[in-house]
Each structure stands twice: as C-alpha cells, then as structure tokens.
A and B are shown apart, each in its own frame.
Chain A
Amino acid sequence: MSGLVLTNASPRIARRRRPSRAFEAWRIPLSWGARLVLCLMVLALGGPTQATAETSARFIGPLADHLLDRSGRLTITEIAAPGARVAFQPHDGRRAANYGPSPSPAAALWLRVVAPAIAAQAGDERVLVLREPRIRNVSLFIADGSGWKELRWTIGRPQVGAAFPTRYPVLTVPTAEVTGRTVYLRIETPSSMRASLWLHTDLDFLGASGVENLVFGVVFGILAALAMYLAAAALVARDATSALLSGLVLAYLGYVLGDQGFIGSIIWPGGIVASRIMSFGGTFLIFAMTLFYSRHFLRISAHAPRVSAVVRGLAFAMLGLTLVAVASVLVNDLTLRRFVAPIGITTILFCVVLVALSWRSERRRALVFIVCWGPMFAGGILRMLHDAVPAIGANPFAVNVNYLATSLSLLLSGFANAIDLQSRERQAYRSAEDSALRLRAFAESASDSFWECDRHGTIIFASGPTSQAIGLTPGRRLDDLLAGAQKGGEADPRVDLAASLTTGTEFRATVSLPVTAGGLDHRLIVFRARPAGPDGGLRGIVSDNTAEAAAEERLAQQRKMAAIGQLTGGVAHEINNLLHPIVNLSRRVARGIQAGDDRRRLLEIVAESGTRAATIVAGLLTSVRPTPRTDSHAPLGQALGDAVRSLRSMLPAKIALSFENYGDPGPMVDTNEAFQVLTNLVANAVYATRGEGHVDVRFKGSDTTGYVLSVEDNGEGMDHETRLRAMEPFFTTKQPGHGTGLGLPIVYGIIHAWKATIDIESQPGVGTRVTIAVPAQAASRTEPTHAAIT
C-alpha cells in the first residue's frame, strides 16, 4: 500500500524500484503531512524491506554481526583472530544492532559484515555510510593480504580529498576491495550504538545526501521563520504562550542542528563540542520548554495551581539539567546520557497528565494540544524507545521520522498559536466594542451627557442630548461656551475651569446658558468633571437641570405662598372685622346727615377709606383666595381673547399687544378670573416696557397635552433675586404709589385654584416671559360663589 502511494506521489522513485521505500519517503520532497502519513503507515506495516539485490543503496545494518567492546581496548587482530575469546552476536537479517547510549566513554561497537557481492567495474567505488551523526570515530578494517587495511573517519574532519567534513561517517572504498568480503567496523560514539549501516554507490550517495541536506535546510528555514514569527507575536501581543513556543522552536532548531551534525560539519567545521552541547543540552532545554509551554497553553495555573507549581519546578529542574548536560559534554562524562530516555518519557507523561487535567475546564485547548503535539510525542516516544528498548532495533526510518513529527508538531502549534492569538485579539476587540457600545447606550439613554476636554479646555469628546442642545461639541472651547452664561451672583465658572485645568482638580459649575443667543430661553446646566489623566484635561458629565430647578422653585414658591396665605388669612380676618363696622356705620351715619353738610363729606371719606382698605385686604386674600366668582364662564382661550380685546382699548398707543391662539378652546374658567390673570400680567409687561414695546400673548395646547398661556415682553427684565420674589404679596419694583405689589400674587392665587403652574423667565435688558401651564387633567372648578364687596 505504501508502494502504491509512493508511486502516485513520485513516479521517479517507482521507476527506480528502490527496496527501502520508507527511507525514500523520508527523502522525497512531498508535502509534510503526506510524508508523515506515509511514514506512519509504513511503520505500521512492519518497517522497511531488506536489501537483497544489487542496488545503488542498501541498508546493510541488519546484515552485520555485532559486538560491544565495553573497555574499548580490543584490536582488530583480537577481534578477527580465528578462535577469538570474544564472540560476535550473529545478525538476524531483520533488525540492525542497537546497544543504546554508550556505556562508557571508551566503549566501542564492532560490526562484522559480509559486503554483498557486487559486479564491480574498474575504478568503481562504494560508499559505506553510518547514519549516526553522533559517532565520533569509525575505523573500517578490510583484510589486506597479510594484515588489515584501516580506513578512518573522525568527526569534524574532512575525508581525504574533501573540502568539508561529513555529518556522519562516510567511508569511500573501491568496490573491488569489499564486494563479497568480510569487513570490520569499529565505532566510537557517546550516543546510540546502532548499526545504521548503509552501502551506496558513490553517485547515489551524493544525490541522497544532497536531498537530505536540502530537506533539513527547508525544515530549518521553516523552524527559524516560525521562531521569529512567534517571537514577534510575543513581543507585539505581549503573549507569554507565543514567547514560550518560540523558545521551544528555537531549542528544537538548535538541537537538530547539533544532533544531526550540521554544526561541526557543514555549518561550523570542527565545532564538535558546540555540536554536542547543542544536541545534548538542547535535549533538556526542549524538555524544559515543553513543560513551560504545555503548562501555559493549557492554563494549568488557573485550574490546578498545585500541579502547575510542580510542573513549573520540574521545568526549572530541566533547565538546571540543561546546564549539567552542557557541563557533562565539556568533561566528556556520559552518565547523564543514560537518563535521557526516562527523563524524556517522564516529561511526556507530565504533558499527558496536564492534558487530562485541562480536559474538563479547557477542553478545546486540550484537543488542540493533542492534535498539535500528538506527532511529536509519538515520534519522541519512538525515538527514546529505541534507546530504552534496543530490541526495537535501529530502524533507520524510525530514527528520522522523529524529526519530521516534531517539526510538524511545532508547525501545527505555530498555526494554533496564530489562530488563538487572532481569536483572542478578535475577542478583545469585540469585548472592547461591546463595552463601548454598552457605554454609548448608557450615555444615549441617560439624560446626562458626557464630555471630555484636553488640558487647554478644548472639547475632544461629547455625547448625549444635553451636550448637543447647548452646543458642547468637539473642537469647541469650553471657555467660550461658559462665556455665554447668564451672569449670576456666583463666581465666574471660567475662573474655576482654569483652576481645575491647571491644578488637576475636580470641576463643578452650574450655569444658565441661553438656548439661542440673546433669547429668553435658558437652560440650567450643571457641569461636573474630574481630571482625565496624566495628560491633563477633564472628563465628566453635563446635565440639564432646567426642569428640576423650575420644579424646585415652584415648590419653594408654593410653600412660601402657603405660609403667606396663613398669615394673610389671620390678619385679614381681624382687619375685615374692623373694617366692616367702619364702612357700614360711617355710611349709615352719613346717610342721616344732610347733603352738603361738611360732616357728611368727612364721614363719606371714612367709609371710602375703609372700602379702599378692604380692597387691599381682598387683593391680599386673592393671593390665596380667588376673586369671588361671577356667573360668567367661558373656555379659557375665548376668555383670554375677550380679555385681550378689552385690554387693547386701555393700553398706551406705543404698546403692540399681540395675541396668538393656537390652542383648542381650553378648560372652562371664570371669565373674570381669566381677565384678572391677563390684566395683571399685561399690566406688568407694559410697566416693564415703560409704555413702549411689544407684549405677546400666546395660548396653545389641547385637552390631552394641557394648555400653556404665555405673556412675553421685551422690557427691562428682572434679575434673579427679583424674579424669585415676584410672587410675594407687597413686593414691588414700582415707585411708591404706582403699584400695590399684589398683581402677581393675585394671578398666583387664581391659577393655583386652576391647578396650574406659573414660571417666570427673565433676562435683564432682554425681557420677561411668564408662562402658565394648565395640566391636561385640570378639573373644572366647582367652587362656591361668594358675595362680592362693593
């Protein structure tokens, strides 16, 4: 089945009928995934087939008898002598010898192999290759008549006639010298003592090693790019997972460079120690980074803090072992090598435990982890089993598949990391967007508006109905806006603003801002802000308190008027009781005196004065008691129209009295009351214009919305204090003798009985507007009628 796949993937290979197809699979430039799948399938199907015929490349490891010389003292003479004390393990033809890591620094592995009989032409050469980059020395012994011809290969040294050292032992021999003959190999290596022995034609070896180097080069390029990408992502996104993965990729890259002998041969000829350090030290560094990364990626610290601490400790221990490994390479001590496999398997087991732990809380991550790291762990276990269980054999393909699997895992993790980063970024963006939307919704549904200004007081953000209404828009200077505020008794808000901006303190201001410049409509605006941040500026809210302030003012007015009403009622009672006999008795007595008599005239003055006093008391009472009602009722709109008509004839010629009636007829009211209300308001307006100006009466509304009557003039206006006291009885701005101070109190008394409210807006120099609002549900009054005073 593997052959079929190979055929499809690479017709070139199929034509050449290579026996060791699994190894071919390693060399051909297929896609990573396809190659991995192929490798695993071939492994599952029982490993590579053996070389049996004349070919250009043959794996002859399984054909080698083997012997482990623990002391390393045996010589070729002792080994090859007939009846030697030491005996070779005979080959079984299926598995290549594998003794695991070297038991001692001096130990040597001996191989005895009968080279396949090859029909050699003159000058034909064969290449004997041991695909173990960690081998330090190899001696090939060929029987040479009386003695032994020894061909030596030493790590880091180029062969005779070559410019570069090779990554692993390569021995070129004339075909004629070896074909069908028994040769001996003495191998020194601190690493796996395996019989990874191949026999190539010289041309084939050149091609094979070229492709091999090319594939490794591609892998290194990808890994280096991945490491750089992850490092950049870690820096930009401040992401620890990316940083750890980047570290893991780098550690692995260094490990492969060292382990596969690229350092020491192609990359740094002679850098043998560096190569060993990178290979052996890198092993533990990979373990450490794997633990750090797994712990972090699976978010163990959040779900199992104790395990997380243990794994962290273990990872640091691995870092420590990395240093020990480096030291052991330097002093050429092999003790630690024997523990590599158990330590590695422990690391993998810990990772499995971490996956299991995170399965419940972080299932998605656990799944991603399994998918990404499955190949590496599988390959890693395979690799270590080769050393731990030599019986598995030195399957050359299985040794190499490890690199592929790990690279694939790293790549997959890189992808997963990129996707994870992106999704987290999207999530963060979404959540930021959500919270911005939420805040905006709050801001838009709030009656308050939000604003921010820079340290110069220029608005840089404003949102909400109030800010729009008062023209608080980005680019505008808050200072300019405050300049338009109505001047009150309080401190200038601009001074407070400047102080807040310079000292970085809270800013609060309540100002009355005109809706339109020079108009009567004002809004009571409250600014509240706090320092925005280190760059200065302010950030806060602005609210429109106009309605609340008006309601408060109205309530205070009602309380005041109620108190005044109580007092007035008591005083009026006493005075009226006294006025009653004064008026009536004076008249009665006067009636009994002849006309023309001076005494009668004097008594009539008494009665008249009493009546006038009674009028004042009645006016006072009207502020709490409506004028005695007449029998004449009419809709408010009509009553106002009638009142305006009667008023026109009485007003000075230079007063323009307009009446706009856009309302429904309005509630039924006493026409006299309506007349009283309008007369008083118009009289005040006329007085304010000093007899020259316009007075606009407007009436609008409906039964459902309620009605509004307003009387507006362009007279001198009132300041704040005057406006607040306007409803008080006897409070007047007029010259003595020109007003009683009862006009507005009377209006108040009447409209209070209408259940209406009254508001005064005024601006000195602009004018005054009195607005009476009759609510929609104002019931028609059914108050008793009273006898009127004459």
Chain B
Amino acid sequence: MPPSPDVLVVDDVEAVRVSLAEALCEAGYNPVCVASAHEALAELSSRPFAVAVTDIWMAGIDGLKLIKLIRESNRDLPILAMTGGGPRLTIETAGALAEVWGAERVFVKPFDEDLLVRAIDAIVARPDARPA
C-alpha cells in the first residue's frame, strides 16, 4: 500500500480544520493542518506535499498572498482555495484572483467536502502528480 499523500490544510478556523482533517483522513490522505500562512510556509519548506488547500480570507498573511508566496518557490504544487466570503473582496473577486495566482479551483464555504476529496483524488491521479 502506497503511503498516504500529504495534504496541507490552511485555515484560521479550528472547526473547519477539524472537519477537513476528518474528511481527508477518511479518504486516505494525510492532512497536515495549520492555522496561518506562516505555519504553512514553514511546513512547505520542511517537506513536500501532494496538494495544498488554503482559505483565502485569513488574518495576517491572507490566502491570496500565501498562494503567491508558494508560487515563487514552488511552481508545481497543486493548490485548492476555499472561501466563505469577506468584507473587502467579493467572493467572485477573491476567487478570480486565487485562480489567477494559480489555485486550481475555488470552493465556496460551506461546500460538500466530498467534492474537495474528489478534486484532490483527481489531482493525485494525474500522471504528472508528484509523489508525496
């Protein structure tokens, strides 16, 4: 049995991290959950991940900035974005920006986590996917 692919989950709301971790574990992934962009960058520099899932609207460095930072050092890491909306940017604007910076897809909370799992499955199954 191949080792579970590592999935980095970045969200500042603990309940969301817990929920996603549950879903990913059940689906056979190894979720690594962090609460901020700083922690996420630290994790990314320590080891490779199959996929990164990040919230967009977060305190400190927000998701969009995080995607940009990741793209500066790592062109190939597949990124999925999530958002529940925010006061400054409308959801569609935030989503559009995330896609511009390299998020493969934007999920609008609350979304069905099965859809996220299926999206990750598809990424991992791609021939060019890097082994985690």
Which residue numbers of A lie inside 8 Å of B, CB to CB? Answer: 565-570, 572-585, 588, 610-611, 614, 618, 621, 624-626, 628, 783-784, 786-790
Contacts and interface: CB of A to CB of B under 8 A. Distances in A.
B109 interface: yes
8 contacts: A569-B87, A573-B86, A573-B87, A576-B108, A577-B109, A610-B110, A784-B96, A789-B110
Interface stretch (B10-18, B31-39, B70-78): B10-18
A496 to B, nearest CB: 46
A616 B81 CA distance: 22
A584 B113 CA distance: 7
B26 A588 contact: yes
B128 interface: no
A25 to B, nearest CB: 110
A652 to B, nearest CB: 35
Contacts of A789: 108, 110-112
Interface in B3-46: 11, 13, 15-16, 18-20, 22-23, 26
Closest 4 CB pairs of A and B: A576-B84, A570-B87, A581-B15, A580-B110
Given A583-B110, A585-B22, A784 B84 contact: no
B95 A584 contact: no
Name the prevailing secondary structure of the A interface residues. Answer: helix
Interface centre among A574, A580, A582 (most CB of B within 10 A): A580
Contacts of A585: 15, 18-19, 22
A625 B92 contact: yes
A572 B113 CA distance: 19
Nearest to B107: A787
A626 B109 contact: no
Contacts of A584: 19-20, 22-23, 110, 112-113
A603 to B, nearest CB: 14
Interface residues of B, number: 34
Given A572-B85, A588-B23, A786-B95, 19 more contacts: A566-B87, A569-B90, A570-B85, A572-B91, A573-B84, A573-B85, A577-B13, A580-B110, A583-B110, A584-B22, A584-B23, A585-B18, A585-B22, A610-B110, A787-B107, A787-B111, A787-B115, A789-B108, A790-B111
Given A572-B84, A585-B19, A579 B109 contact: yes
B106 interface: yes
A787 B114 CA distance: 12
Contact of B86 (A569, A578, A783): A569
B54 to A, nearest CB: 14
Contact of B19 (A575, A580, A618): A580
B49 interface: no
A621 B16 contact: no
Contact of A621 (B18, B23, B91): B91
A574 B108 contact: no
B11 to A, nearest CB: 8
A786 B90 contact: no
A573 B85 CA distance: 4
Contact of A569 (B18, B19, B85): B85
A787 B84 CA distance: 12
B108 A569 contact: no
Nearest to A783: B92
Nearest to A624: B90
A576 B85 contact: yes
Given A572-B85, A576-B85, A787 B108 contact: yes
Nearest to B80: A787
A210 B47 CA distance: 147
Nearest to B98: A784
Given A575-B84, A610-B110, A787-B115, A580 B92 contact: no
A784 B99 contact: yes
Contact of B85 (A588, A610, A621, A790): A621
B68 interface: no
Given A584-B110, A628-B108, A789-B110, A574 B92 contact: no
Contacts of B92: 625-626, 783-784, 786
Contacts of B57: 573
Contacts of B23: 584, 588
A583 B43 CA distance: 29
Contacts of B96: 783-784
A581 B107 CA distance: 14
A565 B112 contact: no
Given A784-B96, A784-B99, A786-B92, A579 B87 contact: no
B7 to A, nearest CB: 16
B105 interface: yes
Given A569-B90, A584-B110, A588-B26, A574 B99 contact: no
Contacts of A614: 110
B19 A581 contact: yes
Contacts of B115: 787, 790
Contacts of B89: 569
Contacts of A574: 84
Given A783-B92, A786-B92, A576 B109 contact: yes
B108 A580 contact: no
Nearest to A620: B85
Given A579-B110, A580-B109, A789-B112, A784 B15 contact: no
Contacts of B112: 584, 789-790
Contact of A787 (B20, B88, B105): B105
Interface in B102-129: 105-113, 115
A750 to B, nearest CB: 12
A230 to B, nearest CB: 88
Nearest to A784: B96
A579 B19 CA distance: 11
Contacts of A583: 110
A787 B106 contact: yes
A231 to B, nearest CB: 88
Contacts of B95: 784, 786
Contacts of A618: 108
A566 B112 CA distance: 26
Contacts of A786: 91-92, 95, 106-108
Contacts of B109: 576-577, 579-580
Nearest to A614: B110
Contacts of A628: 108
A581 B84 contact: no
A565 B90 contact: yes
Nearest to A568: B85
Nearest to B113: A584
A710 B90 CA distance: 28
B116 to A, nearest CB: 9
A790 B115 CA distance: 10
A352 B87 CA distance: 93
A575 B110 CA distance: 9
A170 B84 CA distance: 134
Nearest to A572: B85
Given A588-B23, A784-B95, A787-B115, A570 B107 contact: no
Contacts of A570: 85-87
Contacts of B86: 569-570, 573
A565, A573, A628, A783 — most chain B CB neighbours (10 Å): A573
Contact of B16 (A565, A569, A575, A577): A577
